[in-house]
Amino acid sequence: MKDEGARVSWDLVCRPNHEWGLRLQNLIDWNKTSMFQHVWALVSNVGTLWVRWTNEYILKGKSFMAFEPTSSYSWFWRKILKLRAVAGQFLDPASGGFSGQYKVNEVWKVIRRKYERESWAGLIWFPLHIPRFAMITWFALFDRLPTRDRLLKLGLVVASECVLCSSDLETRDHLFFNCVFSKEVWGGILQICNLSRSVGGWSQEVLWAVAELKGRSLIITLLKLAGNAYVYRILNERNCRVFGGSRSTVGDLICRIMEDIRFRLVGSAIRGAGQNADICVEWGIG
Residue ranges in contact with Zn ion by CB under 5 A: 162, 164-165, 179
Whose CA is closest to 203, among 253, 161, 252, 140? Answer: 140
Q: Smallest distance, Å, CB 166 to Zn ion?
A: 7
Q: Smallest distance, Å, CB 130 to Zn ion?
A: 25
Whose CA is closest to 181, among 244, 134, 251, 239? Answer: 251
Q: Smallest distance, Å, CB 167 to Zn ion?
A: 6
Please enumerate in sequence order all residues whose Cβ is within 8 A of that of 254, keeping only pairs 6 or more positions apart, or say none: 185, 188, 189, 192
- Judged by CB, which is closer to Zn ion: 145, or 164? 164
Q: Phi/psi of residue 91, each to 5°? A: -75, 140
Q: Smallest distance, Å, CB 261 to Zn ion?
A: 24
- Judged by CB, which is closer to Zn ion: 97, or 245? 245
Q: Smallest distance, Å, CB 218 to Zn ion?
A: 32
Whose CA is closest to 215, among 126, 120, 118? Answer: 126
- Judged by CB, which is closer to Zn ion: 28, or 159? 159
What is the distance between the alpha carbons of residues 18 and 270, in angstroms, rounded to a whole number?
Answer: 23
Supply the DSSP symbol for 161: B
- Judged by CB, which is closer to Zn ion: 185, or 225? 185
- Judged by CB, which is closer to Zn ion: 42, or 163? 163
Report how far apart, in Å, the C-alpha atoms of 248 and of each of 164, 176, 181, 196 are.
10, 16, 11, 25
Helix (H, G, I), strand (E, B) or coil at 169: strand
Residue 284 near residue 249, CB atoms below 8 Å: no
What is the distance between the alpha carbons of residues 136 and 124, in angstroms, rounded to a whole number?
Answer: 10
Q: Smallest distance, Å, CB 229 to Zn ion?
A: 19
- Judged by CB, which is closer to Zn ion: 80, or 162? 162
